[in-house]
């Protein structure tokens, strides 16, 4: 069996969208004193682990995501490397490292990835830890330097979203323009004029109108659309620009 590299790890910022808000998947970090039963640590972290000697970074990130989601071929983007000498600096992190990370180094270099999935269709499967979706604007206390990693991932996601059609990784295969608008507003932290947004989307050749409407909704059923990767690849000389 391959050995773990003790001073290199992967942290995955897993973003999901539920048609209302942008979410991030977190893992509960809890430490209870065996004798007194006192809760010593109770906070949350990103999804991550160390890499093995026989795998590269992308393979390790895909393995970590597959373990928790059971899904293959998830969108992954490497966005930054974190290697500050004081990453484990507060007392809770030191205590956690003492109890759970005895075989790892006290200084660890972490490669950050963000992942985009439709969290309405994912069944979480990390059996030994509590995992939960949190709204990006209503986060619990995060351990280590994971708030810094999350903020950096969100900045990277926003930059790429404006220029490449990665947002469709968070939407179902068929979607409405209103759902697409809500997604972009949630990620970019802004609000678009409804008419202007619709006008811009309808000008994109790779957003294909379907002869279908929503079903099972209480309001007036809206027309459905689909993103065509094939058409985008053929027409991407036309700049994808969401700086509305």
Give pLDDT tens digits for 154-206: 999 999 998 888 999 999 899 999 999 999 999 999 999 999 999 999 988 89
pTM: 0.88
| CATH code assigned to 4-161 | 3.90.79.10
Q: CATH classification of 166-235, choosing from 1.10.10.10, 2.170.190.11, 3.40.980.10, 2.40.30.10?
A: 1.10.10.10
Span 114-135, mean pLDDT? 79
pLDDT band at 216 (very low <50, low <70, confident <90, very high): confident
Q: What pLDDT score was predicted for residue 241?
A: 66
Span 83-109, mean pLDDT? 71
Domain borders along the chain are 4-161, 166-235
CB 208 within 8 A of CB 231: yes
Nearest to 207 by CA among 193, 191, 189, 223: 223
């Amino acid at each position: 069996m391959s050995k773990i590299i003790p001073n290199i790890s992967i942290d995955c910022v897993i973003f999901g969208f539920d048609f209302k808000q942008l979410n991030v998947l977190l893992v509960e970090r809890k430490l209870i004193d065996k004798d007194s039963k006192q809760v010593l640590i109770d906070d949350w972290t990103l999804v991550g682990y160390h890499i093995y000697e026989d795998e590269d970074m992308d393979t390790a990130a895909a393995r970590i995501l597959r373990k928790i989601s059971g899904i293959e071929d998830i969108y992954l983007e490497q966005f930054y490397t974190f290697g500050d000498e004081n990453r484990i600096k507060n007392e809770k992190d030191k205590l956690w490292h003492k109890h759970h990370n005895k075989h790892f180094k006290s200084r660890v270099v972490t490669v950050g990835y963000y992942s985009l999935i439709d969290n309405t269709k994912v069944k979480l499967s990390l059996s030994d830890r509590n995992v939960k979706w949190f709204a990006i604007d209503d986060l619990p206390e995060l351990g280590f330097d994971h708030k810094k990693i999350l903020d950096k991932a969100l900045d990277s996601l926003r930059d790429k979203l404006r220029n490449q059609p990665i947002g469709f990784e968070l939407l179902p295969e068929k979607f409405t323009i209103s759902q697409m608008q809500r997604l972009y507003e949630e990620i970019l932290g802004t609000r678009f004029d409804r008419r202007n947004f619709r006008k811009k989307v309808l000008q994109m050749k790779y957003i294909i109108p379907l002869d279908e409407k929503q079903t099972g909704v209480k309001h007036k059923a809206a027309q459905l659309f689909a993103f065509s990767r094939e058409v985008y690849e053929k027409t991407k000389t036309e700049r994808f620009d969401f700086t509305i």
